[in-house]
């Protein structure tokens, strides 16, 4: 573990009965990194976060967070972390400043430091002058930023964000990510899970989880690398889902997924993508509006990796 | 310490911010005390009685006379035959019928008289007590008839009847509650009931609400220790619970003239011990409930039998064996017994140490099990 390593996980597993929620995963996160953790529901994201936060003990394997062995001293890691989940865990029947006061008290902030940090959090959330407003009445975007402010009250070195933008409007999501990036550039390490593939592009590195295992790990560019030039976008008009299913049965087609009114087709490596796609379409007697090679998105990566693991 | 204080402050703020909560906390106990004190009256008054006098003699008329003088019974009709009386019982015009059969006078002289009592058993408790009252009056009447007859025989033989017939006068006095008022019996029970309902439900609902909101998870990632969370969550309700004890006792004294003969300190100490059990049960319910709704239903599932099998209204001594077992591990049984002892009899701890020890024992077991289970569930 070098000085700049914030999280280091080796062969970590967690079983619930016979179910392997987390199955032998290893990775490390360095200081100031925005580390994305993706996967479908039940892929093991939340279990991993709960282990790293000291809420769950690992069944086997090792995990060090900020130089603390989480298997041995989970309590010692808690004061150093910030945690914010999709539920924006504020009390709806407490005011903005009462919520902040509560979390300040729980992290043991002195009253002068609390006053200073509370002012910071209120300003960051854009709620100056509304300290006495009940949280229940705040719009979702403000709740989200206030929850982030509450999680940052004690100036944690490591911040866990579990689906932090779920249900929030696109503009508020963009503003939120601007905040996250500025936090990371000032040295806070951010560990984030998300469903929104577009915003995951903001991450420095990404883990793709599937069935408790790490299916892929790398920067967004690295992950997309393997698919460059292999994705064909077929504009087909109607019933893309049905056509995609029929295309999948064709030889040389790794995967075909509907994307709105189009289909993203992944061809096997070594084949000429456009030609192969046209051949497949001709065999099915389909005449699409257009067939062209397109840039892979993280969603393509995610789907190809997950379906690859499933086979 | 700072963390516990932060949680306690938050709980109090949330409780007092919610107007409905304030009503539940302070108005509900007052209303319950008033309802139970005024409306629930177990004293027997004017049970409608129908008499069937088939004998029509001086002796039978004396019985009718005696029955019509008692406060507990009200003679609504004197009829000639059995069928009419049965019809009146059937359509609820009478609660009890007493039949004096033909030949009563003759048999009474021989000491063999029989009287038939029929009672509406739909409300078994009232039926039992009505029969007891009627039975007592009839027995008194019969013995005085015998006495009359005996003294007649003695006088005819030239002996003085006064010395020979020893009269047994029973003088019954109910200690501590001379008028046997129901309020004095019930109000201590109301105290136990109010405390159970409020502290248990508030604890259970409060925790399951946090689980629903996701704030429980947020609390658990802070350095707050699980034991501090349990303390921070239960302390405010203990304080509120003790305040309610004061409130209900004041009302009981002012409105119902319930005496406070024992030590108030002892009353509060015993109440604190009782709170260990209700808060513990609240924690247990929260441990096994996912939602507030589940918590509410489970709490009532526990509370109803706890109240029924506590001696609040129905004496534990009269219960079947299995119910007695439940009552003997029911903290409310001991709490009600202790409160009645302290308030009404002015009993001291040395007279009730067994009840007190049971209450504290149950309290410690329930609370420690509950907080262990709860902490395990959090982890």
Q: Global pTM?
A: 0.76
Contacts of A54 in chain B (CB under 8 A): 221
- Joined together, the tokens standing for residue B313 give 């209204």
The whole-chain average pLDDT of chain B stands at 83
Of all residues in chain B, the percent with pLDDT exceeding 70 is: 88
Res. A129: pLDDT tops 70: yes
Res. B225: pLDDT tops 50: yes
> Residue range A296-302: average pLDDT?
83
Domain residues for A256? Answer: 229-294
Nearest alpha carbon to residue A22 among A216, A212, A193, A214: A212
Q: What is the pLDDT of residue B164?
A: 46
Res. A13: pLDDT tops 90: yes
> Residue range A102-112: average pLDDT?
93
Q: What is the pLDDT of residue A191?
A: 96
Q: What is the pLDDT of residue B75?
A: 85
Whether residues A89 and B222 touch (CB distance < 8 A) is answered with no
The verdict on A54 and A189 lying in the same domain is yes
In a domain, A184, yes or no: yes
Q: Rounded to a whole number, what is the distance in Å from the CA of B218 to chain A's nearest CA?
A: 6
List, for residues A213-258, the tens digit of each pLDDT value: 998 899 988 888 878 778 888 887 778 888 888 888 888 888 888 8
Whether residues B3 and A105 touch (CB distance < 8 A) is answered with yes
Which CATH number fits the domain that encloses residue A239?
A: 3.30.70
The band of A206, judged by pLDDT with boundaries at 50, 70 and 90, is very high
Res. A178: pLDDT tops 50: yes
Q: Which of B3, B14, B220 has the CB atom closest to A94's CB atom?
A: B14
Of all residues in chain B, the percent with pLDDT exceeding 90 is: 25
Whether residues A92 and B2 touch (CB distance < 8 A) is answered with no
Q: Rounded to a whole number, what is the distance in Å from the CA of B203 to chain A's nearest CA?
A: 17
- Joined together, the tokens standing for residue A288 give 């699409």
Q: What is the pLDDT of residue B171?
A: 55
* Complex confidence, ipTM: 0.82
What residue in B sits closest to A106 (Cα-Cα)?
B3
In a domain, A301, yes or no: no
The verdict on A275 and A177 lying in the same domain is no
Last residue of a domain, one of A199, A223, A247: A223
The verdict on A128 and A260 lying in the same domain is no
Give B 114-133 residues with CB within 8 A of chain A.
Answer: none
Whether residues A55 and B215 touch (CB distance < 8 A) is answered with no
B375 in contact with chain A, both atoms CB, cutoff 8 A: no
The band of B269, judged by pLDDT with boundaries at 50, 70 and 90, is very high
In a mutational test of the B interface, the residue from A87, A102, A163 whose CB has the highest number of chain B CBs within 10 Å is A102
Q: What is the pLDDT of residue B173?
A: 62
Distance CA A132, CA A127 (A): 10
- Joined together, the tokens standing for residue A28 give 């490390």
Q: Which of A55, A93, A104 has the CB atom closest to B18's CB atom?
A: A93
**Cβ pairs bridging A and B (under 8 Å):** 70
From residue A199, give the alpha-carbon distance in Å to each of A166, A179, A185, A207. Answer: 12, 13, 17, 14
Q: What is the pLDDT of residue B174?
A: 61
Q: What is the pLDDT of residue B137?
A: 77
List, for residues A302-311, the tens digit of each pLDDT value: 877 776 644 3
The band of B93, judged by pLDDT with boundaries at 50, 70 and 90, is confident
Res. A105: pLDDT tops 90: yes
The band of B158, judged by pLDDT with boundaries at 50, 70 and 90, is low
Res. A24: pLDDT tops 90: yes
Q: Answer with the residue of higher pLDDT: A169 or A118.
A: A118
B231 in contact with chain A, both atoms CB, cutoff 8 A: no
The band of B82, judged by pLDDT with boundaries at 50, 70 and 90, is confident
The verdict on A104 and A177 lying in the same domain is yes
In a domain, A282, yes or no: yes
Res. A275: pLDDT tops 90: no
**Where do the structural domains in chain B lie, given as residue ranges?**
12-40+181-378, 47-164
In a domain, A310, yes or no: no
B78 in contact with chain A, both atoms CB, cutoff 8 A: no
What residue in A sits closest to B224 (Cα-Cα)?
A106
Q: What is the pLDDT of residue B179?
A: 60
List, for residues B142-155, the tens digit of each pLDDT value: 666 666 776 777 67
Classify residue A120 as exposed, middle or buried by CB count within 10 Å of its CB (0-12, 13-18, 19+).
Answer: middle
Which CATH number fits the domain that encloses residue A105?
A: 3.40.50.300
List, for residues B299-331, the tens digit of each pLDDT value: 989 898 888 888 887 788 888 888 889 889 999
Q: Answer with the residue of higher pLDDT: B174 or A288.
A: A288
What residue in B sits closest to A161 (Cα-Cα)?
B218
In a mutational test of the B interface, the residue from A105, A147, A154, A160 whose CB has the highest number of chain B CBs within 10 Å is A105
The verdict on A21 and A131 lying in the same domain is yes
Whether residues A108 and B224 touch (CB distance < 8 A) is answered with no
The verdict on A237 and A219 lying in the same domain is no
> Residue range B269-297: average pLDDT?
92
Top CATH class, B47-164:
alpha beta
Q: Answer with the residue of higher pLDDT: B360 or A311.
A: B360
- The region, left, alpha or beta by phi > 0 then psi within -120 to 50, assigned to residue A217 is beta
User: By a Cβ cutoff of 8 Å, what residues of chain A touch chain B?
Assistant: 53-56, 75, 78-79, 81, 83, 85, 87, 89-94, 98, 101-108, 160
The verdict on A64 and A48 lying in the same domain is yes
The verdict on A249 and A175 lying in the same domain is no
The verdict on A218 and A267 lying in the same domain is no
From residue B72, give the alpha-carbon distance in Å to each of A152, B69, B136. Answer: 74, 9, 12
List, for residues B49-58, the tens digit of each pLDDT value: 888 888 888 8
What residue in A sits closest to B226 (Cα-Cα)?
A75
Q: Domain count for chain A, please give it.
A: 2
List, for residues B27-80, the tens digit of each pLDDT value: 888 888 888 877 766 666 678 888 888 888 888 888 888 888 877 788 888 888
Asked if residues B379 and B235 have their Cβ atoms less than 8 Å apart, the reply is: no
List, for residues B102-137, the tens digit of each pLDDT value: 888 887 777 677 788 888 877 777 777 778 777 777
Determine phi and psi for B44, rounding to 5 degrees.
Answer: -85, 125
């Amino acid at each position: 573990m070098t000085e700049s390593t914030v999280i280091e996980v080796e062969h970590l597993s967690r079983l619930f009965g016979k179910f392997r929620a987390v199955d032998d995963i290893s990775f490390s996160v360095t200081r100031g990194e925005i580390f994305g953790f993706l996967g479908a529901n039940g892929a093991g994201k939340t279990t991993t976060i709960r282990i790293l936060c000291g809420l769950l003990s690992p069944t086997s394997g090792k995990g060090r967070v900020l130089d603390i062995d989480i298997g041995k001293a989970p309590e010692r890691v808690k004061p150093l972390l910030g945690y914010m989940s999709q539920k924006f865990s504020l009390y709806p029947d407490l005011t903005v400043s009462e919520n902040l006061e509560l979390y300040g008290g729980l992290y043991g902030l002195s009253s002068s430091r609390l006053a200073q940090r509370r002012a910071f959090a209120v300003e960051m959330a854009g709620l100056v002058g509304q300290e006495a407003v009940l949280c229940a009445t705040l719009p979702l975007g403000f709740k989200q930023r206030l929850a982030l402010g509450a999680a940052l009250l004690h100036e944690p070195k490591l911040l866990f964000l579990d689906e932090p933008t779920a249900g929030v409007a696109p503009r508020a999501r963009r503003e939120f990510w601007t905040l996250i990036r500025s936090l990371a550039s000032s040295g806070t390490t951010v560990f984030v899970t998300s469903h929104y593939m577009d915003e995951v592009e903001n991450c420095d590195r990404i883990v793709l989880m599937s069935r408790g295992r790490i299916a892929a790990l790398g920067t967004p560019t690295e992950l997309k690398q393997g698919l460059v030039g292999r994705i064909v976008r077929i504009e087909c008009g109607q019933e893309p889902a049905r056509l995609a299913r029929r295309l999948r049965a064709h030889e040389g087609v790794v995967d075909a997924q509907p994307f709105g009114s189009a289909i993203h087709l992944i061809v096997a490596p070594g084949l000429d993508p456009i030609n192969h796609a046209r051949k497949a379409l001709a065999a099915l007697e389909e005449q699409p509006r257009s067939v062209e090679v397109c840039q892979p998105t993280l969603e393509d990566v995610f789907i190809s990796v997950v379906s690859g693991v499933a086979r | 310490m700072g963390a516990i204080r932060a949680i306690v402050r938050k709980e109090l703020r949330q409780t007092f911010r919610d107007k409905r909560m304030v009503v539940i906390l302070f108005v509900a106990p007052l209303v319950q005390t008033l309802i139970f004190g005024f409306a629930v009256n177990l004293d027997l008054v004017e049970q409608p009685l129908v008499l069937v006098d088939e004998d029509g003699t001086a002796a039978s008329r004396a019985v009718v006379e005696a029955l019509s003088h008692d406060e507990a019974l009200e003679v609504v009709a004197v009829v000639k035959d059995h069928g009419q009386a049965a019809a009146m019982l059937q359509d609820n015009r009478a609660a009890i019928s007493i039949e004096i059969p033909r030949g009563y006078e003759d048999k009474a002289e021989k000491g063999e008289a029989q009287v038939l009592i029929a009672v509406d058993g739909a409300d078994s408790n009232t039926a039992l007590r009505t029969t007891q009252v009627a039975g007592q009056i009839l027995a008194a009447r019969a013995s005085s008839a015998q006495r009359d007859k005996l003294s007649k025989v003695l006088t005819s033989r030239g002996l003085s009847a006064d010395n020979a017939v020893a009269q047994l006068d029973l003088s019954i006095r109910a200690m501590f509650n001379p008028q046997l008022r129901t309020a004095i019996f019930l109000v201590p029970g109301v105290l136990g009931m109010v405390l159970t309902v409020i502290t248990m439900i508030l604890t259970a609902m409060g925790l399951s609400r946090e689980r629903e909101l996701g704030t429980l998870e947020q609390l658990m990632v802070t350095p707050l220790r699980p034991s501090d969370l349990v303390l921070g969550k239960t302390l405010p309700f203990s304080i509120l619970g003790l305040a309610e004890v004061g409130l209900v006792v004041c009302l009981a004294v002012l409105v119902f003239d319930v005496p406070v003969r024992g030590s108030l300190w002892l009353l509060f100490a015993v109440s604190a011990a009782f709170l260990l059990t209700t808060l513990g049960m609240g924690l247990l319910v929260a441990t096994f409930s996912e939602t507030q709704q589940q918590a509410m239903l489970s709490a009532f599932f526990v509370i109803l039998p706890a109240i029924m099998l506590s001696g609040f209204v129905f004496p534990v001594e009269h219960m079947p064996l299995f119910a007695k077992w439940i009552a003997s591990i029911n903290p409310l049984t001991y709490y009600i017994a202790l409160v009645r002892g302290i308030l009404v009899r002015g009993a001291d701890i040395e007279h009730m140490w067994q009840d007190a020890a049971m209450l504290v024992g149950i309290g410690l077991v329930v609370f420690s099990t509950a907080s262990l289970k709860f902490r395990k569930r959090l982890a």
